[in-house]
């Protein structure tokens, strides 16, 4: 569940799809442009204070629990468009080439409070996009030592508190003092 940072009566909920409410959760409407519910194992969403019309969603496949897609809404969650589905952000490898993942267990997404195009996605590893989810680079890998930095596997939460990015995983809480740049 996410709240619109500018209007707490606007509520967004995700599971195997995304729904939005403009009446504080009394009624919900399904968003359009997302994959079929039968293809989705699980979804997670984020909304940014930088522009509360921007929402991002990460969807895990119900077949192999790898990445099904990253979706973006620019109209407050009414509709979404596919932004990325080529690199498996939910797999184990540093280059996104592995198949499958653990989307059924670990799945997180967040967006910068000051830059609507900077998003971070977590599964086994943490990945960053600075172009609204079109391309991604890995910022932490679950194997230690790693050439890109280490965060324990199984990312359950990614949240910005001020300029700091916090990552909640099976290994505890990790933080970045540079907004997830490294």
Question: Given the structure tokens 């199984």, which residue do they identify?
Answer: 154
The span from the CA of 72 to the CA of 68, in Å, is 13
How far apart CA 22 and CA 63 sit, in angstroms, is 33
Tell me if 83 sits within 8 A of 70, measured CB to CB: yes
Q: Three-state SS for 39?
A: helix
**pTM for the complete prediction?**
0.94
Per-residue tokens: 27: 């009624």
pLDDT tens for residues 89-141? 999 999 999 999 999 999 999 999 999 999 999 999 999 999 999 999 999 98
pLDDT of 182 over the 60 cut: no
The whole-number pLDDT of residue 145 equals: 83
Q: Rounded to the nearest 5 degrees, what angle is found at the Cα of 102, between the Cα atoms of 156 and 141?
A: 70
Q: For 2-54, write each residue's pLDDT tens digit.
A: 999 999 999 999 999 999 999 999 999 999 999 999 999 999 999 999 999 99
Q: For residue 16, what are the contacts with CB-CB under 8 A and spacing of at least 6?
A: 37, 40, 41, 42, 43, 62
DSSP 8-state symbol, 115? -
Instruction: Report helix, strand or coil for 123.
Output: coil
User: What pLDDT does 91 receive?
Assistant: 94
Range name among 14-18, 114-118, 167-171, 173-177 with the lowest pLDDT average = 173-177
CA dihedral of 112, 152, 94, 92, whole degrees rounded to 10: -110
The span from the CA of 59 to the CA of 65, in Å, is 9
Please say if the pLDDT value at position 181 is more than 70: no
Q: In which band, very low, low, confident or very high, does the pLDDT at 149 lie, cut at 50, 70 and 90?
A: confident
d(CA 74, CA 85): 19
CA 14/CA 8 separation, integer angstroms: 17
Query: Is the confidence at residue 70, as pLDDT, over 90?
Result: yes
Q: Is the pLDDT assigned to residue 178 strictly greater than 70?
A: no
Question: What is the average pLDDT value for the chain, to the nearest integer?
Answer: 93
- Tell me the average pLDDT across 53-66: 97
């Amino acid at each position: 569940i996410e709240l619109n940072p500018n209007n707490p009566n606007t509520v967004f909920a995700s599971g195997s799809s995304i729904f939005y409410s403009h009446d504080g959760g009394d009624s919900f409407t399904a968003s359009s442009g997302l994959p079929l519910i039968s293809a989705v194992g699980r979804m997670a969403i984020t909304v940014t204070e930088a522009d509360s019309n921007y929402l991002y969603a990460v969807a895990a496949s119900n077949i192999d629990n790898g990445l099904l897609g990253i979706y973006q809404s620019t109209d407050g969650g009414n509709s979404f468009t596919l932004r990325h589905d080529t690199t498996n952000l939910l797999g184990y490898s540093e280059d996104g080439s592995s198949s499958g993942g653990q989307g059924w267990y670990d799945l997180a997404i967040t967006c910068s409070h000051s830059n609507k195009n900077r998003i971070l996605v977590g599964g086994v590893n943490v990945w960053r996009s600075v172009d609204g989810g079109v391309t991604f680079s890995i910022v932490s890998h679950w194997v230690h030592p790693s050439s890109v930095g280490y965060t324990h596997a199984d990312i359950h939460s990614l949240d910005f508190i001020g300029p700091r990015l916090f990552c909640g995983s099976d290994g505890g809480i990790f933080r970045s003092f540079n907004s997830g740049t490294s």
